[in-house]
Amino acid sequence: MASGMAKQLSVLVGAGSIGQAIIRRVSAGKHIVLADYSKENAQRAAKTLEDAGFECSTMQCDLGSKEDILKLVEFATSKGDVTNVVNAAGVSPSQASVEEILRVDLYGTSVLLEEFGKVMAEGGSGVVISSQSGHRLPALPQEQNEALAMTPVDKLLGLPFLQEINDTLKAYQYSKRCNVLRVMYEATRWGRRGATVNSISPGIIITPLANDELHGPRKDGYLKMIEGMPARRAGTPDEVGDLAEFLMSSRGRFISGADFLIDGGCTASYWYGDLQYLKATH
């Protein structure tokens, strides 16, 4: 199939609320490939999008498996020119072990960036959903920054300072910091294909998972965090979608390798405002 005649394609990994909000904003007239650890989740998202007029395909994909990612790349490129890639998949500190967080959030995202960077269409764009949590690590030594950014993916999990992590929150923070650094590194490679890639670091965004937390045993901590940040409220998937749409549109073509906090000022308050007390526990 000649490139000029191929169907344009959007790929979404992680078919939750934030990913859907982004992909529907950038995929009019394009075929959407929905990949999720749960095939049922992908199929439910596809039904929602198809009812809104989008054309979709689904597949099961474990983000932490290089084999699965390679299958996803092959599947996507067989259907057309990949113009948009959104990675909104991952596991949280309360969901998984240290090893699983590093395998999925850190290693898997790095593999995804590398492999899709090899096939992106000219003018294409990508967005990785990171987290405000990555901004809560103190400044890392430069050698650690460079290692997270540039270590060959198959050697990433062997980095000595990662192997020393024994706390799930710390593993998550390092993973999200790695996402941002890896996006910077991969932007130089994606640029050779005329494509851009950026990361977005959301704060508390109302999704089914966040709603569970806001009504669960840790709700008081979440409510205090919301009360202590400048916006005094949680965000919505549509607000993240609006930012991603800008970055992936023609208006964002001069932006690549950048990270964007969208957290209602929570990180600012964590370091310098009413949430400084959290540094003792986070």
Instruction: List the catalytic residues.
Output: 172, 176
- Tokens 């920054």 -> residue: 145
Q: DSSP secondary-structure letter at 257?
A: S
Rounded Cα–Cα distance for residues 258 and 197 (Å): 8
| Nearest to 210, CA basis, from 131, 277, 269 | 131
Strands 8-13 and 55-60, bridge-based pairing: unpaired
Strands 125-129 and 196-202, bridge-based pairing: parallel
Distance of CA 96 to the CA centre of its chain: 17
Calculate helix-pair angle for 17-26, 39-51, nearest 10 degrees. Answer: 40
The residues pairing with 33 across neighbouring beta strands, listed in sequence order, are: 11, 57
| Nearest to 238, CA basis, from 24, 7, 5 | 24
Q: Are 72 and 36 in contact (CB under 8 A)?
A: no
Q: Measured at the alpha carbon of residue 84, what is the angle toward residues 80 and 87, in degrees to the nearest 5?
A: 120
Rounded Cα–Cα distance for residues 187 and 198 (Å): 8
